[in-house]
Structure 1
Amino acid sequence: MTATVDPRLLTTSADDQASQWRLIWIAFRRHRLAMTGAIIVLTLYFIGAFAEFLAPFDPNASSSKDIYHPPQMLRLIDVDANGDWALRLHVESMRAQRDKFTLETKFVPDPSAKVYVSFFGKGDSYKLWGLIPMERHLIAPAKPGERFYLLGADRLGRDMLSRIIHGTRVSMSIGLIGVSLSLMLGLILGGISGYYGGLIDMAVQRVVELILSLPTIPLWLGLSAALPQTWSPLQRYFAITVILSLVAWTELARVVRGRFLALRNEDFVIAARLDGGSTRRIIFRHMMPSMMSHIIAAVTLAIPVMIIAETSLSFLGLGLMPPTISWGVLLKEAQNIRSIAQAPWLFAPGAAVCLAVLSLNFLGDGLRDAADPYVQDSR
């Protein structure tokens, strides 16, 4: 009598044949909050990359008659005076009116006048990425010279939507560039400290402890205040990025050092060393992949910290300065009683900061769980 074997037992699933990165992607897709966070983060970076095209107007173009202009709503159905309607994107115009008793300027709807909006229309000229001269915008007024304010205007009559879009580029990139620098410092110094140990480990850890013993916010304030006021906005931008990186690398260095101390005596590391593997190969080929989840978690959680740090410094007047546009600079311009009482839309950059930080945190949690082999085994 011959035994029969179920053919399903002889086949392997796609998960069993997949590489490590594919397994991470499969586990990451099951995390709904992480996927949502990833989509939002990618959208924010896309907005930052194409800010000139996506912004309806020049972010520095002002209009004295539109100071503190309230937000307008995009409408699709256009009804004329005869009652006929058509599908045409537009906003209802608003005119300024002064109150007879309080002398307060208020904007009231003017149904008789409309501003029609067109996709890929011509507007303010710009250079995409500072290289390609263009005039097309994603949305623009159908007639040149007209303006609309989907998120209102500020104290100089500048379009807040355009300024928030341009601020996305600076605020999101400063976190990405800063984390890249701190990641490089943390991996190099933390890896050297944990792999070699001895006097090198002692020297690196004393430097880490010295930086960690300093209060973070006063340190940032002091270093930012030491920057020359004569520097250009671009110089201040890179200086703030470097300052944030020099402070933020210590936590990652301690994590990397601890993992290296635990892994350097493992069997696979000793076998690779006895097999004649170089130090570089042992570190990057054998040790780094085993701590990928820790590195991913540290990096993704460090980006929102840097975004908040830049926003806080700029809000206090010690970070980026106008004419540079960032979320922190926009919030600094809104710290007055009139903005709170009459122009709450000026706090929209704060909502952008919250959205970016929450999305990055969800993304980091999902990547950490997907890259952690113990979490995958428990599932």
Structure 2
Amino acid sequence: MRRPIRFIERNWTQLALVAVAASWVFRRLRTKRHRVELPAPTGPFQVGRLAFDWLDPARKEPYAPGKRRRRELSVWIWYPAEVNPGAQAGEYLPGRWRLTSLLWGFQASRVRAHAVSRAPVARGQERFPVLVFSPAAFAPHYYTALFEELASHGYVVVALSHTYEMLPVSVFADGRVRLFRPASVGNALQVSRIPHEEDVRKRARVVGVKAEDLSFVVDQLERLNAGTGLLAGRLDLDRLGALGHSLGGNAAAEFCRRDRRCRAVVDLDGGLWSEVSQEGIPRPFLMLFAEHPEYLRPCADSVRQKAFSSEEYCQEHRAFAVTGWQRLYASAQPGYSIQVRGAGHASFTDCGLLPLRSGSFARQSLGSIEGHRMWRVLSDYLLAFFDRHLRDRPAPLLDGPDPSHPEALFEPPEVLFQVPKA
């Protein structure tokens, strides 16, 4: 198994060029009438985008084959901008990030986003609140529609590419590529066949790395804000929020437990594996869940559906997950727990908006909610939450069920995911 991996690592440049060339030929053979435009941002600001590569000399790279490498991250930033007339939006997947579309099953050149690369920051002296985002396996760009909407309403969104975790590759801003390594997600992308206790330890370690990544990036943002670059003096790091998807949701919560600079946090359909599920955090916390039938049906049925390897593992995991969610929800000040009816795990990404091919496995976890509607519901609740807790603005949408958002079910985790008896 190591030989093909080593071959790929040693010949990555040539293989990447072949893949890009094949993708270009395929694009030329397709008609242009099937282009897809992401939803237009609705806020008062236009949107810019830029990227950085940041090296943390204090930390070893935990997933690299060598022992001497330091932890290095690629970071993408969406921000309120003043776009010059005639400026063209940047590519949805820039550079070698296009290789990820081959895995997820769509043609990246067919997708049009709205952010303009390195556009000037919006005029004035206003400082903008900052949101740091942790994904899981999906590259930061697969949340573009959401980030553009948040930026258009006056937020700076800083999304991490956790190196070795993105599928199938992580790409640095300067074009370097790192292949995915299963250890970077604690083997969470397959049905586990080891004891649940061991999975908890593995994934807690992964979450710890991701939380450290977030703290390091906030350190870099402080330096960026104090410097002379494009965003200098425009970041309001006293109004800092965090959010994440899947394992990234746990990482965002763990970061907020460890780092007092974080004022509010959102978990987008993420299980909890780390200490935060035991200790909680006395800060504003929002959990947005997809539907999870594997948590509601008898374990025997979930095993037959290949959601779990055994009934014992199923029972342990469901009790562990629901207890952790409920404990964190109860400790938050205040806590919000909302399930989006019809949402699947991938519905929190752009996948519901992308021209996925029929065989794309991302379709299997999209749920039944239409992509544009999911984007609107998700955007509205995130804007309401961060507006209330970072900007002290009214947000009645958070106060309970709203007829304009019938998909949103307000219930504590223990009610949403009542664990049935075996």
TM-score (norm 1): 0.24
Bigger Cα Rg: 1
More helix, by proportion: 1
Question: Which protein, 1 or 2, shows the higher relative CO under an 8 Å CA cutoff with sep ≥ 6?
Answer: 1
More strand, by proportion: 2
